[in-house]
A and B are shown apart, each in its own frame.
Chain A
Amino acid sequence: MNVDLGDLYQEVIIDHGRHPRNFGELAGATHTAEGFNPLCGDQLTLYVKLADGHIAAIAFQGAGCAISQASASLMTTALKGKHEEEALALFGRVHAMLTEGPNGGVRPAELGKLAVLSGVWEFPMRVKCATLAWHTLRSALEATAEPVSTE
């Protein structure tokens, strides 16, 4: 196996990793959750403001590697305005793409900008970096009391 690093560190990922969108605390959040990756110390707090079942606003704070920051940033841009149910469905599809790659039955092209995360699958040690934000999203929406851990 000799996967190109460029598959992982695509320009969009580098950009979102360096300049994460929707970064900061969200006043008036109705749902929040903490995510933590004990393996590498990546940590994030996700804030969601739901109105009539729709994500009216979403933001995150935290520190971590380029992949975890970009994944969180891309996730927030993809979810704004989406219905809660749509967000959870998207979690499922992104999770399948990240953990199962082409075998997951998800065509990256259907996921819009999130397709840039499709290369992560080929770097098994980094999959948890990319899934952290998404697990935290599910925890926020399902109001799980315990902080999310990717371990």
Chain B
Amino acid sequence: MTAVQTSALALNPRPADAGDGAHLDVERVRQEFPILAERPYGKPLVYLDSAATSQKPQAVIDAMSAFYSRDNANVHRGVHYLSERATEAYEAARAKVGGFLNAAHASEIVFTRGTTEAINLVAQTYAGTHLGEGDEVLITAMEHHSNIVPWQMVCEQRGARLRVAPISDAGELLVDELEELIGPSTKLVAVTHVSNVLGTINPIRRITDIAHARGAHVLVDGAQAAPHLDIDVQALGCDFYALSGHKMYGPTGIGVLWGPGELLEEMPPYQGGGDMIASVSFERTVYNKVPYKFEAGTANLAGAVGLGAAIDFLDRLGHEALAAHEHDVLTYGIRALSEVPGLRLIGTAPAKASVLSFLLDGVHPHDIGTVLDRHGVAIRAGHHCAQPLLARLGLAATARASLACYSTRHDIDVLVAGLDTVKEALR
């Protein structure tokens, strides 16, 4: 592993949960989200689309505003005061992410535009150099398009083969079948931690153990897991972990790729440009150290700062209190929706987080979405960027209500009442 560049890269350990075992005061939490005071069509906003993007607490909005108001300058090259402050803020955010994921070192945190770019980075640099003719990449039937298409692209480029591990009708990954699909040609397994359509939580540790025993690396798409689960990349044993800031109360346009230092070191750069170099001449360029080797061009500095503030916010809530709260609302939602006549829940795995996908007899999800919208209820309707998964389930679309720290049982009640009006409008 290469020595770190600045002392700011020292890891920022995640503080112990402030509210360990404590109850999450959801009304107080809601006060921190100014957008929840919006009234679409004059109705109180019931935001049940957090799996698409979460809303942002005031602390995140303020942190970004403060960065632009007081610290803004380009990083890593200015000799002046502001550049130093901006660099410090940017690297402090990296250290927070390192702590959030329990990375061994903050230099293992690569900032990207989001999960999608993080996966593309691994596909083009790691897979792009390790895959040979006839090699295989294994994904699962419940992946988001962003954990399918980059692999299709690199498999095409390298003459490799993309294989798909099956799921049950309830939406659980069939790990025994996955195990059988991992052979000597399997170079990489790419799997989502939490399904954005089903809410299923996949047994990552089990998958990494199986894959590693057969010499395959594992990438985990953590976009839907990061806002809900306590993530420890070392305990998960994976080789790459990708997440998006905007799904975990941070801003859009910032995401993270984590990988162990030695693995990142051996990978070629992703994009060429400024900041990713140590020296450039027309004959030869020497690349910068990790993580900078992968961060060509001026990064989304304020975005990283906002993500750091989002991690502070999550730490302040406390993981246990947050998990208990979200579990309560999810369980309440499952029960309440199950009692709606003609409603069918899609995705009924026992290990499940914060997503309620459903169908309503005789009503298309898109129509459900439009009627609910007029009642101030924001849900998602469609294929959720997981068309192969919906095809596997024999569906074209689902309606999806998804939860976050600010979701309440009352939100579920309004949703269920709204479904009555859906039936009425479309009778």
Q: A76 to B218, alpha carbons, bound, how many Å?
A: 52
> Do A125 and B370 have beta carbons less than 8 Å apart?
yes
**CB-nearest residue of chain A relative to B362?**
A18
The yes or no answer to B41 lying at the interface (CB within 8 A) is yes
Q: A43 to B383, alpha carbons, bound, how many Å?
A: 13
The yes or no answer to B74 lying at the interface (CB within 8 A) is no
Query: In the complex, how many residues of chain A place their beta carbon closer than 8 angstroms to a beta carbon of chain B?
Result: 24
Interface SS of chain A: mixed
Cβ contacts under 8 Å, B363 to chain A: 66
Contact A63-B366, Cβ < 8 Å, known A2-B42, A40-B382: no
**Interface bits B374-391 vs A (CB < 8 Å: 1, else 0):** 100000011100010010
B419 to chain A, nearest CB (A): 14
8 A Cβ contacts from A1-58 to B: 1-3, 5-6, 8-9, 14, 17-18, 39-43
8 A Cβ contacts from A42-88 to B: 42-43, 63-67
- When the two chains form the complex, which single residue of A1, A2, A63, A67 contacts B367, counting CB atoms closer than 8 Å? A67
> Do B366 and A129 have beta carbons less than 8 Å apart?
yes
Cβ contacts under 8 Å, A1 to chain B: 41
The yes or no answer to B51 lying at the interface (CB within 8 A) is no
- When the two chains form the complex, which single residue of A17, A41, A123, A129 contacts B396, counting CB atoms closer than 8 Å? A41
> Do B425 and A41 have beta carbons less than 8 Å apart?
no
The yes or no answer to B263 lying at the interface (CB within 8 A) is no
> Do B426 and A41 have beta carbons less than 8 Å apart?
no
The yes or no answer to A95 lying at the interface (CB within 8 A) is no
Contact A40-B371, Cβ < 8 Å, known A5-B425, A9-B425, A66-B426: no
The yes or no answer to A93 lying at the interface (CB within 8 A) is no
The yes or no answer to A126 lying at the interface (CB within 8 A) is yes
**CB-nearest residue of chain B relative to A126?**
B370
The yes or no answer to B427 lying at the interface (CB within 8 A) is yes
A-B contacts besides A1-B41, A41-B396, 8 pairs, CB < 8 Å: A2-B42, A5-B374, A17-B426, A40-B383, A64-B396, A65-B366, A66-B426, A129-B366
22 pairs, A vs B, C-beta closer than 8 Å:
A5-B370, A5-B374, A5-B425, A9-B367, A9-B371, A14-B427, A40-B381, A40-B383, A40-B397, A41-B382, A41-B383, A41-B387, A41-B396, A41-B397, A63-B396, A64-B366, A65-B364, A65-B367, A67-B366, A123-B370, A126-B366, A126-B370
